[in-house]
A and B are shown apart, each in its own frame.
Chain A
């Protein structure tokens, strides 16, 4: 019934190789975009923006970034928190040094700086593999957080050691600081997410993505058939860190506004983003969205049910949250190692045949 290829004739190569070749899929995509850009900005308020939408958008960017590295290129990284911190501090330094430049440029430059740092810490991946590498990325995590904590230049010698986002605007609309309207911050992050997702989707469909996947599936075999592992691994680190850096910059400048690096970008953040990628589905852009949405929603739903409905103390609900997240990860790994994205694929297959059983 839905998702059928029948009767959908392509008359050009461009039409044949588009991102969503099935008509239903394509229209659904346009509807999602229309709702996200055309409707939500008009009904959004501060609570929805800060509790759900902004974290979702920003974590989705980070999850896409990490998914490129872990899901597509097979290089497990536990340094996401550290790279997000690089993005945040780069953005902060740029914002304070060049107050007149547009925030768009700052955030993109912050991503670029993070990409550079990511490549530096990605260099050992040429020698170290598997979870030796995962542990080696912890070096990035701890070193970067320590660096931002201890070198006063990074936080402009402020007495508290925190960084605070000054008020900046894009085309006259305030984006950062406490006076930024909810719809503006939402749209700002949404634009970045959309561009990142389209970029990631197309990168992973093309030559670059295929070399990544070849490295992931078996690096020696890939090398023998002519994939350059140096180039493939380092581009994966660069692109991944670029996205993660953008996410870090937005997380600091637009969402939180003030950051204490050890608390916000600690090892917990690395694991959180990794869980989003696992639960959502390794090697799937849609999965990154699903995983981010799931792990942003879960604590909020638990809090509403536990604290507001049942009246339990917040610390018990926080602990239950840990138990549930842990159990879910184990369950997903046992029952559906390909995550929410696989469930979505199965559902699509079912919908395609519906209402017939075969």
Chain B
């Protein structure tokens, strides 16, 4: 087999893995959008917030330590204990549920019935707010996150491919774990929305707010739940990306990466988010591999957006989105 083709295969495999991670973030968007019509820009910052909270709890950091020290002149930083990973994840989840409740109670409840673009801008405000709070709570330095996920090159794949192609593929163990977890997460979400009472209520709300209200579904409860689920997805995405590249500000930018994924897949479709993520992941890696050196490199920064832009011109609702019907 020619060498270039083998390289391209490795690139495609890695692209698929990266695509799964994009899809993971995009999922959080789709959930909230389907249930409440809100395009939640803060999803990326929620992932950052979740990852920082997880690291902070695991290390036993005192929340708002810097602020407290600045006001009272004290020097406290750590409680002096370490929390095991699993317990810390559960505690972080509790924090995310609390956050979901607060967002619903103090922001979204007051904006019901506003135009989508106003809601979108409110979530940009929320993103700034959360980012500031996260930095104040846990400090803004780059942190490492280790919850015991395997990392590094997968030797088995390396050896197997070496035997076949005379060239060992570099596949990160973490990416494989992420792919499995993402698949499980999607299956769980689908099962949740299809077979549980709350899940069905959620779909009812997504379909028609008023009809859902009139059969006795509590909108407030559903929205808190949806934001909690989105918080959970953010936590999972935060753990994956945080383990991969450290917990830092750039983590919140994955939200921007998820946007073209959503545009490709359509805002309302869970399978769309997955397929869109895979297309973007493979597309940008292949493009960088094929044309990146000729164009000066780092084409990953913009390729996804331009691809989505060109795609949207021909199909404005995305791959799996509902057909847009406009009336006067």
Contacts and interface: CB of A to CB of B under 8 A. Distances in A.
Contacts of A151: 296
Given A132-B316, A134-B120, A139 B302 contact: yes
Interface residues of B, number: 51
Contacts of B312: 124, 127-128, 132, 136
Interface in A209-255: 218, 220-221, 224
B305 A138 contact: yes
A136 B107 contact: no
B61 to A, nearest CB: 15
Contact-residue bracket for chain A:
35 or more
Interface string A107-134: 0000000000000000010011111101
Interface string B283-309: 000000000000111110110011011
Contact of A131 (B110, B117, B296, B299): B117
Given A131-B117, A135-B259, A333-B118, A146 B126 contact: no
Contacts of B66: 313, 315-316
Contacts of B117: 76, 130-131, 134
Contact of A322 (B71, B128, B296): B128
B299 A146 contact: yes
Contacts of A274: 121, 124
Given A127-B313, A134-B120, A330 B125 contact: yes
A319 B70 contact: no
A53 to B, nearest CB: 25
A85 to B, nearest CB: 13
Contacts of B328: 218, 220-221, 224
B114 interface: yes
Query: Which of B125, B130, B295, B306 gathers the greatest number of chain A CB atoms within 10 Å?
Result: B125
A182 interface: no
A316 B133 CA distance: 10
B259 A337 contact: no
Contacts of A221: 328
A162 to B, nearest CB: 17
Contacts of A326: 125-132
Contact of B313 (A128, A135, A145, A330): A128
Given A139-B306, A146-B302, A322-B128, A334 B136 contact: no
Contact of A316 (B67, B259, B324): B67
B308 A150 contact: no
A218 B262 CA distance: 25
B245 interface: no
Contacts of B298: 146, 149-150
Contact of A321 (B107, B132, B316): B132
A105 to B, nearest CB: 31
Interface in B87-125: 107, 110-111, 114, 116-118, 120-122, 124-125
Contacts of A321: 132
Interface in A26-50: none
A60 interface: no
B263 A132 contact: yes
Interface of B is mostly: helix
A215 B320 CA distance: 28
Contact of B111 (A149, A267, A334): A334
Contacts of A322: 128-129, 131-132, 135
B231 interface: no
A227 to B, nearest CB: 13
A278 interface: yes
Contacts of A128: 309, 312-313, 316
B256 interface: yes
A142 interface: yes
Interface in A7-36: none
A134 B259 CA distance: 10
A315 B140 contact: yes
B136 A319 contact: yes
B232 interface: no
B309 A136 contact: yes
Interface string B252-263: 000010011011
A56 B148 CA distance: 50
Contact of A267 (B71, B256, B316): B256
Contacts of A142: 301-302, 305
Interface string A320-331: 111111111110
A271 B129 CA distance: 14
Contacts of A127: 312-313, 316
Nearest to B106: A330
Contacts of A132: 263, 312, 316
A337 B259 CA distance: 25
Nearest to A127: B313
A98 interface: no
A312 interface: yes
Interface string A144-158: 011001110000000
A327 B103 CA distance: 12
B49 to A, nearest CB: 12
19 contacts: A128-B312, A128-B316, A131-B39, A135-B260, A135-B305, A136-B312, A149-B298, A221-B328, A312-B70, A320-B136, A323-B128, A323-B132, A326-B125, A326-B126, A328-B125, A329-B125, A333-B118, A333-B121, A333-B125
Top 10 A-B pairs, shortest CB-CB distance: A326-B129, A322-B132, A329-B125, A326-B128, A323-B132, A139-B305, A150-B296, A142-B302, A143-B302, A319-B135
Interface of B: 39, 66-67, 70-71, 107, 110-111, 114, 116-118, 120-122, 124-133, 135-136, 140, 256, 259-260, 262-263, 295-299, 301-302, 305-306, 308-309, 312-313, 316, 324, 326-328
Given A128-B309, A319-B135, 9 more contacts: A127-B313, A135-B262, A142-B302, A150-B296, A151-B296, A220-B327, A278-B121, A323-B132, A329-B128
